[in-house]
Structure 1
């Protein structure tokens, strides 16, 4: 198909008769003899270009409308069935990022206790989508329907709220990872800022408005040197773009709470790990490399100080998520109009016991019965912070949050899942 530029020029240049060219030249000269005529021609060209762009936009929008992977009677039936509440005083929850690590575990826990759950995930390729699709199958086996769609799709969100009057939203969809922001910063703004606003707009317009619980991050503490990190500590020194987008999310959610009466709870997760985890996390790819006999890179801070993380087992995080949902309080808006103050809360969800990265590797070596090939490197300026340590007293007071799984126990469960999922024998050989 010829390009627009090709269509504006003759297909066989050089075959026009000389005398006609001369005539056309004179007419062209007369036409542009005055400034006013040139101005009119410029306006005409601008109008023509604008019309073309508008038409192209219409075509693109129409194409998206007709090729959408959602909608229809059968689709609505699946959504409603998945959202059915099966316990007294239960809730109907829209879980975004449901095929993600935390999203899968939270969705399963809600479904298990009898709440209605509908998932939403765009199955992007930040890490192997096959793992996300395996999680989706796991959820389907337990009666949870996951919609394939993006949180930036306002039409899809409006349709979901039209089909189901969700009482709560568990917003876990986000572009994760600190280092990937150096490669693709736009994806963080798209998901963590624009996507959050699109979702909040849908929640604001819903009637009734749902209570919103969403995943912030311990990364918002950034370069803060005071430990352990408390919710009242400063969070205005982000060390990465990821952290900056999560901090922006906290300010954005506060605005929607203040103006529109949305009940908002932000959860600052501290290095969550466990079965069905994310392959981009250190404990995950350390395990892979150790089993494959490949060296692992262990970063160190200044003066050869070991990095430390408040590793938090997935089951403990799930308890915090459910506790937050159960105590969220109601939104106070109707059709976007606030009738009174609504709850706005932020909680740390951590383990309260930081462990150094070399200690983590040592535990993995014992569980895998394989010695790691360690390569120590000074931490580059990629946005990572030297340590994290959570103070969870506020969450304990509000909904009884109390982490119970230490790193050794949690990693043992993770390794068992990893060996099974990827088909390894107990001696570290693939089946």
Structure 2
């Protein structure tokens, strides 16, 4: 009888909210001293971070419209400082462990820090939904089940680390889109073979008429197809990402042209190697972090000012070939843009009796977009092993932040790295509202022949 009572109590405790909605009084700060999605509206004391004044919602004259390249709205901007190995100690507090390690490892590595442009903006209906979520959304079952949230950011005034991570996972990126995610696994000598990948995505959570019930527990539909090189072409990965991962874990399938059949693929998760990554990126590193959080315990460290990639229009330019962007040791840092920004710092530590190749992860989440921009990754000895960056920008015609110009994952021990989410020499990402049936597993094999 005692065992039965203890078992029932454990279920009740697991089901209890681990993240509570905020009061109406606290939510009223949104749009006042906080931006509509929860960032500090005011600038910092020395003015190096300006006040948020609504973001960038008017395309610059160089933009030619939907489907054309997102051009740089700030072509006259010049760096206000450059961080190198020689002066890195002076800026230690504004750098992640990974950035410091890169500065120490490569004489050619540097961070050009530009004026901070608070370009982030989202549609008014996202702001309205975010305000509703603030007083309704909760997390249950140790943070794996999101309840009573839809369309907007679920936790604009976060009280826990997992709330911050859910904001990243559900940040508004339109109702869906089609993009090229070209990637290169780079050897220590700088050699690489470009892998060309298309990705189609639908965000049911972001539909204007969506309700928590209507999306049927699916927040993201994702279809990835390898197009080149020929030895990899035709490989397909399909994912249906769930909002309540206790009710139903992620659904995933893979199709191999050699086998000519689609199979369920529970390995498309956690630290299993991702498509054509040469072991340099795990499945849960795409989009900086994705998927379940259950293998880690999570701690919210707080907020700080750091030099992070943002407004990366130059890196996104089609004026550069991939061999001008991808160099030995690291990407071309002359094309990267860093800004002083406030970030939430979140630490994840591997739970006892679980497994993952990263024992500890430190995430840096930019406040204006809720996007992860840097990640420090530690091995089982708790030594810094790998490091990630997300180079992103404002899609000023939508408006929302993303897609990224590039993501990178560096292996500090081997000197190898992978650059992905690139489309410099491919068509621009477009917003597209796919039918749900497009992502049905029965249709997947047909896609490999298109």
Larger strand fraction of residues: 2
Q: Say whether the fold is shared (TM-score over 0.5).
A: no
Structure with the higher helix share, 1 or 2 = 1
TM-score (normalised: structure 2): 0.26
> Bigger radius of gyration, 1 or 2?
1
Q: Structure 1 length normalisation: TM-score?
A: 0.27
